[in-house]
Amino acid sequence: MALSIAFELSIWVTSVCGVLVAVWLLWRARQQSDLRALAGFAVMMALWCFGHLALFHNQQVLGMVLLLANPLMPTFFLHFALLFVNQGAAKRPWLTAIAAHMPWVYATSFAIVIYSIWVGAGETVALIDGRPFFVFNTQGAVNLAYTVLLGILGHGVLILGWQQHAGNKKRSILAMFGVAAWGLLLATSFVFPSFGINVFPYPMLLLPSYLLLLVYGVVRYQMLEVNHFANRALLALAMMLVVLCVIAVLGAFSGPIGLQALATVPIWQLWLYSLIVLLIAAVVYPWVRRFSERLVFPGAVLNEQILENWNRELNQAESWQALETQGEQLLAQHLRQPVAIVLNQNETSEGLQVAVEKDANGWFAQPLHSKDISPGMRLTLDVFGSLFATKCAALERSLALAEAERKRLDEQHLVELGSLSAAMAHELRNPLNIISMASYNSPADTRRHIQEQLARADRLVSDMLVYSGKLTLHYQPVALKPLLGSVLSTLNTDNVLMTLQLEEGLELSADPHRLQQVLINLIDNALAFVRNQSDGSICVEAHYEDSELVCRIHNNGPALDPNVSQDELFRPFVSKRQGGSGLGLAIVRRIMDAHHGQIRHRDDLGWPVTFECRLPLDPQKTSNTQTVGETQDVG
């Protein structure tokens, strides 16, 4: 009798689960025809199980009709498999054509069902504790063969889908194959009596698992809530197994330890009573939990809706100030009192605060001045602080990405601007040459003035070409003193005291033409400021220092504006002297960078203005990319 009750209970659970799953799938399906077909499969599974129950309770006609409708189950499954597999990039025209002819398959299935009912393709045998169980007779061979054929076709479509798809769809199909193997094992015991094998269908006791596992395998990679449900279902199943084990142990040892009344109760009744208690506990658990939270943390009202609202509002902040302001508003609205959020500050004022800081392990938050608040408010601050710290980390990453993108666009703009400047400089050379030639017939004073302005324009064009173009360095040994002498011979140093303090034999590996440009720009720049002074003086000193050559150009001209930083000083057009292009110092730094050297302004060496150049004696060793005599292109 116990097996009969267990079988009936299993069939009841499967039937109810089939109806519930079908309703849920139809509610979720919306425009998804594949889930509607799967819902049809669940309905037919529920009706098939209900047919067994009808036979159990002597409803012979109803039970036979429902069980002989067996072919409709694989029909719905075949329809589902076609729609589920034939999606996206893996869509195949011939599968679409088969799906389009599914109405004919449904019509054939209904015809087989009607034929089976008409000829009486089924009967019953006394198998389960003398209660009737369905078997196919000779006329039922068509029904059974057609059902098996549709099942093979449905799983054949899944095999094709597994080969064509990738990612979550491929994993879903693989999960369905595992479930199909499980379903085949359960269904095998159903057909044994039809072949004269009168064995109790033990596998059918696990029928509820087949339908749930099939649906879970299909939708687990599409709907997150399904995985939450599966987590809860697995927990419930584990608890049921624990209860079963505990009851079995109590039943075995209750007699020897003196619990005679418990020993006389059947094990299945103890298990059933325990499951009822477990079910009641699961139902009342949410209310009991909320009650205990209200009791322990009075005033704390936290739920998924509040956390989702906090998350949504904080995500809208695009700056640190906006994030801080938004966080304070959310807390004040929830707690009905002002709460300050302090970002990365050591000193805090009085009042309830949430300090948010970053250390080596990341962002974290902690409430301050919270000793006198209720446990509920403290819990709210802890939860909000944890969420706020997460948003700080996300905002930090977002701002870093935005800054990187801005720098990329700036660099791209500079490249485009450099190309445009180089093109303009080349185009300006032609009209300047024409003006120079046309000025030869002008009066001497006019021609001199024109030539001076043309020289100035040519110098500006040259500076633009140097700054915007590509630097090509030709390394070779360079003696500093002769190079400096050639530079001074090209410059007008009248009325200026020039002093050279050079160690003998100073030499380095560099591009002599580019190094000459550096010296010309720095000395010419100094001359522009001291030439009109009665005591104008320029001193050039150079010496070795470790593996570098240090060259300093001093002048006693007016000191530079202290508000101009080192970085700003060498930007183009920032420190523009009268008559200059504004590119001199920028070109110097570019050449120095190309040689892996450094340049900076100093005012701590006893002179109002000093520019210090540090050049490696062998820049190719510094860069580890060149040998002496090779050419290096610097973009």
Distance CA 377, CA 177 (A): 51
Residue pair 429/422 in contact (Cβ under 8 Å)? The answer is: no
Greatest alpha-carbon span in the chain: 136
Provide the b/e sequence for 460-487 (b: ≥16 CB within 10 Å): bbbbbebbbeebebebeebebeebbeeb
Reported pTM:
0.42
| 3-class secondary-structure state, position 523 | helix
Q: Supply φ then ψ for residue 491, to 5 degrees.
A: -105, 150
Q: Supply φ then ψ for residue 509, to 5 degrees.
A: -95, 120
Distance CA 115, CA 209 (A): 31
Report H helices in 542-617: 566-569, 584-594
Distance CA 489, CA 159 (A): 88
Distance CA 182, CA 206 (A): 10
| 3-class secondary-structure state, position 502 | strand
DSSP letter at 256?
A: T
Locate 479 and state its tokens.
Answer: 């003696």
Per-residue confidence at 10, pLDDT binned at 50, 70, 90? Answer: confident
Residue pair 112/146 in contact (Cβ under 8 Å)? The answer is: yes
Lowest mean pLDDT among 5-9, 530-534, 575-579: 575-579
Distance CA 611, CA 600 (A): 6
pLDDT over 80 at 31, yes or no: no
pLDDT attached to residue 628 = 38
Tens of pLDDT along 205-257?
Answer: 677 777 667 766 666 555 444 455 555 666 666 776 677 677 767 666 666 66
pLDDT attached to residue 111 = 93
Q: Supply φ then ψ for residue 343, to 5 degrees.
A: -100, 120
Residue spans in the chain of domains classed CATH 3.30.565.10:
470-634
> Residue 134: enclosing H or E segment and its boundaries?
strand 131-136
Residue pair 19/43 in contact (Cβ under 8 Å)? The answer is: yes
Among 88, 111, 97, which residue's Cα sits nearest to residue 161? Answer: 88
Tens of pLDDT along 162-213?
Answer: 777 777 677 777 777 777 777 777 777 777 677 666 666 667 767 777 766 7
The CATH-assigned architecture of domain 470-634 is 2-Layer Sandwich (3.30)
pLDDT attached to residue 315 = 85
pLDDT over 50 at 626, yes or no: no
Residue pair 65/51 in contact (Cβ under 8 Å)? The answer is: yes
DSSP letter at 548?
A: E
Provide the b/e sequence for 188-204 (b: ≥16 CB within 10 Å): ebbebbbeeeeebbebb
pLDDT attached to residue 597 = 92
Residue spans in the chain of domains classed CATH 1.20.1070:
2-222
Percent of the chain with pLDDT over 90: 11
Locate 548 and state its tokens.
Answer: 């570098």
Query: What CATH code is assigned to 2-222?
Result: 1.20.1070
pLDDT attached to residue 517 = 87
